[in-house]
Structure 1
Amino acid sequence: MSEASSDDKTEDPTAKKLSNAREDGQVARSSELPAAVIVIGSLTILLMSGGWLVSRMAQIFANGFVFDRTTIDKPLLLPAHFGDQLLSSFITVMPIMVFTLIAAIVASGVTGGYLFSLGAVAPKGSKLSLINGLKRIFGTHALVELGKAILKFTLVSSVLWWSLSNNMDSLIQMGQMGLEPALTAAAVMIMKSTLWVALSLAVIAMIDVPYQKYAFMKQMRMTKQEVKDEYKQMEGSPEVKAQIRRRQREMANSRMMARIKDADVVITNPEHFAVALEYDPTGDGAPVMVAKGSDHMAKLIREEAKAHGVYLFEAAPLARAIYFTTEVEQQVPEDLYHAVAQVIAYVFSLEAASPMNPPQAKPRVKVPPSMQFNPDGSKLEKAGAKA
């Protein structure tokens, strides 16, 4: 099957496709930004060093052509003499080299990040294809890069020509200056020219960085069918399924915990189980369980209930019965109506209590034998238990 036309690729790339592309070494990368940063960084160091760097280089250059009697008599010492001056020059410009190296590394990671991928250098059949090779040579990306190179050459050349034209008188006067003044004047002229070149490169980089990101995202676009196929593939992955289930549990637990503040009572085991019940006395429905949990979740439910002033009622058999027979946001079973009604009536009497209206006595709740459970969820077929 032939590859889908670019006109059919209307969908933004998925995170998985971008991740796979990154593993293959494909990222949005601008080569103009590091170039601009290197030039600007070097110029910054030159300006910060003031005249010291120029004077130092002038001194090294002058010393290179000053020979003592021993060197003159022994020409074999000349390589060592020039080597010393070269080493001094290298040490002098070392800060600029280090700074520009760091600047280049930082600038390279701004757009595409730092990446080492064997996929980028691994042999691929598509790279050996003549048709694909012609597409790379005559494609849109190649034409854009060619246009960018022509623009950069034209812009930088024009800036240099303009700078030299404006400093022609200074160039002529340098021939009449001493070595150090001439080098100083040349350095000033070079820094001015470099400043204009740096500004030109900065303009190109400001255009190139967003374009490279746009071009990369356009290249990564997918067809609707590719998006569907990828979703199906991911949906079938055990890891993805587990992740989806975990997120669903987290969302369900979050919603459940948010409902505890609406509960009228939380019935506890007291430690291993907890169920939160809400009852609307104005309606005709049974109490609804808004949250339930065991062990750690039960602890969280108790803590949330305390934080919102929801009453905790200890009734182990009833807590287990509701926990194992009722789902969240469902009404309690009919067999538990009487036991639950006793608890809710007691809680309401506490809320309405006053010196003239004392609360009811705490009920001893009975659970029908058919609704009694062991902590593991198995049925306990015995006579009715008391809380």
Structure 2
Amino acid sequence: MAGEEKTEKATPKKRKDTRKKGEVLQSKEVAVAVFVVGIFAFLAIFGNYMFQMLLNFMEQSMSSIDKTGNTVEFAMSVFWKVAIICVCTVGPILAVGVVLSVLPVIVQTKGLFSMEAMKPKFSRLNPFTGIKRLFSMQALVGLVKGLIEIIVVVAILYFQVMDRINEFKKLIDTDVIKIVAYISETAMSLIVTIFVMLVFVAAADYVFQWWSFEKKLKMSKQEVKDEYKQLEGDPQIKGKIKRKQQEMAQQRMMQEVPSADVVVRNPTHYAVALKYDRKT
């Protein structure tokens, strides 16, 4: 029945067919959390080294101006040094960013590459289908989730700033080093808090995506029966074939009875026809 409720868990075949279509369990929030946390972790480990490299380059460039003057050779030298510094600082960040963007997708999809998912679907061009997707439960959940994330981030920033506003006022008359140190401490506290929020959101979103994916895969009892028929054959047809085979076997047996030397039987159930063969 078309309107039959889907209460049965997806069979291995249904899961396999769904995967072939490129439909797998994925959470975008997990990918975002991995990317953001990974980039900041990389900067926390290697950022000081990169910053020091930039400072050394600036010091060398400034000292070289007084010695060499403003010449074309000096300008070209500075240009190539800037290029090298950019490659050594920005390059690793970009490389790590690419890896962190691709890695969560590979892990969640288990390296799936589906040509079926890449095929053009003209149904996507249907404006009514697009409008239906805009007002679907999935879209509503995504909107609510986005609003909650914005509210939480704004609330974190607000309470962190309000909690430290008095300390900021006291720093006005202090030296620059203390101001920078306090701002760095505040920024790190904000970053850690946002990291915790990202991990929590990613975990919650993954659970929701898993529930939604499993619900989408569920099958009706009739679908399970139909799939079983496809794999194993229609039970009624199999029963008819079995009965026909038994009838044919019984006919062959009855044809051999006249050539038997003796028939042994009990009064009601069984009869065994035996033929004596001297050679065997």
Same fold by TM (over 0.5)? Answer: yes
SS at match of 1:73: coil
Find the aligned partners of 1:126 and 1:49 in 2 and give their Cα distance: 48
8 Å CA contact 2:171–2:179 kept in 1: the answer is no
8 Å CA contact 1:39–1:194 kept in 2: the answer is no
* Displacement after TM superposition at 1:211 (Å): 0.8
Alpha-carbon spacing, 1:59–1:196, altered in 2? closer, same or farther (3 Å): farther
**What is the CA deviation profile of residues 335-383 of structure 1, one whole-angstrom value per residue up to 9, with x for unaligned ones?**
7xxxxxxxxxxxxxxxxxxxxxxxxxxxxxxxx953xxxxxxxxxxx53
8 Å CA contact 1:28–1:213 kept in 2: the answer is yes
Candidates 11, 32, 50, aligned match of 1:35:
32
Report the equivalent of 2:279. Answer: 383
Report the equivalent of 1:193. Answer: 190
Q: For residue 149 of structure 1, what is the amino acid of its counterpart?
A: G
**What is the CA deviation profile of residues 24-56 of structure 1, one whole-angstrom value per residue up to 9, with x for unaligned ones?**
111111011121122222333334348444434
Alpha-carbon spacing, 1:334–1:125, altered in 2? closer, same or farther (3 Å): same
**What is the CA deviation profile of residues 196-254 of structure 1, one whole-angstrom value per residue up to 9, with x for unaligned ones?**
221110010010111101101111222222222222222349xxx9xxxxxxxxxxxxx
Alpha-carbon spacing, 1:119–1:334, altered in 2? closer, same or farther (3 Å): same
**What is the CA deviation profile of residues 230-288 of structure 1, one whole-angstrom value per residue up to 9, with x for unaligned ones?**
22222349xxx9xxxxxxxxxxxxxxxxxxxxxxxxxxxxxxxxxxxxxxxxxxxxxxx
8 Å CA contact 1:71–1:78 kept in 2: the answer is no
Find the aligned partners of 1:145 and 1:18 in 2 and give their Cα distance: 25
Candidates 200, 204, 207, aligned match of 2:204:
207
Candidates 19, 22, 36, aligned match of 1:22:
19
* Displacement after TM superposition at 1:183 (Å): 7.3
**What is the CA deviation profile of residues 301-332 of structure 1, one whole-angstrom value per residue up to 9, with x for unaligned ones?**
xxxxxxxxxxxxxxxxxxxxxxxxxxxxxxxx
Report the equivalent of 2:6. Answer: 9
Find the aligned partners of 1:62 and 1:167 in 2 and give their Cα distance: 35
**What is the CA deviation profile of residues 78-104 of structure 1, one whole-angstrom value per residue up to 9, with x for unaligned ones?**
687366335414413544544454344
Candidates 214, 217, 224, aligned match of 1:217:
214
Gaps of 5+ in 1: 242-332, 336-367, 371-381
Find the aligned partners of 1:56 and 1:175 in 2 and give their Cα distance: 29
8 Å CA contact 1:60–1:89 kept in 2: the answer is no
- Bigger Rg, structure 1 or 2: 1
2:143 is aligned with 1:146: yes
8 Å CA contact 1:127–1:133 kept in 2: the answer is yes
Superposition TM-score, scaled by structure 1 size: 0.51
SS at match of 2:176: coil
8 Å CA contact 2:124–2:130 kept in 1: the answer is yes
8 Å CA contact 1:33–1:108 kept in 2: the answer is no
8 Å CA contact 1:38–1:103 kept in 2: the answer is yes
* Displacement after TM superposition at 1:143 (Å): 0.6
Report the equivalent of 1:81. Answer: 78
SS at match of 1:88: helix
* Displacement after TM superposition at 1:18 (Å): 1.7
Report the equivalent of 2:176. Answer: 177
* Displacement after TM superposition at 1:172 (Å): 6.8
Find the aligned partners of 1:93 and 1:170 in 2 and give their Cα distance: 36
Q: For residue 132 of structure 2, what is the amino acid of its counterpart?
A: K
**What is the CA deviation profile of residues 113-145 of structure 1, one whole-angstrom value per residue up to 9, with x for unaligned ones?**
222112223122432333322221100000111
Find the aligned partners of 1:236 and 1:105 in 2 and give their Cα distance: 43
Identity of aligned residues (%): 27
Find the aligned partners of 1:166 and 1:56 in 2 and give their Cα distance: 35
Gaps of 5+ in 2: 239-271
Q: Which structure shows the bigger proportion of residues in helix conformation? A: 2
Report the equivalent of 1:133. Answer: 130
8 Å CA contact 1:41–1:103 kept in 2: the answer is yes
Q: For residue 190 of structure 2, what is the amino acid of its counterpart?
A: S
8 Å CA contact 1:63–1:85 kept in 2: the answer is no
Superposition TM-score, scaled by structure 2 size: 0.67
8 Å CA contact 1:160–1:197 kept in 2: the answer is no
8 Å CA contact 1:10–1:224 kept in 2: the answer is yes
Q: Which structure shows the bigger proportion of residues in strand conformation? A: 1
Task: Report 1:261-280 matches (<5 A).
Answer: none
**Bigger relative contact order, structure 1 or 2 (CA pairs below 8 A, ≥6 apart):** 2
Task: Report 1:304-319 matches (<5 A).
Answer: none
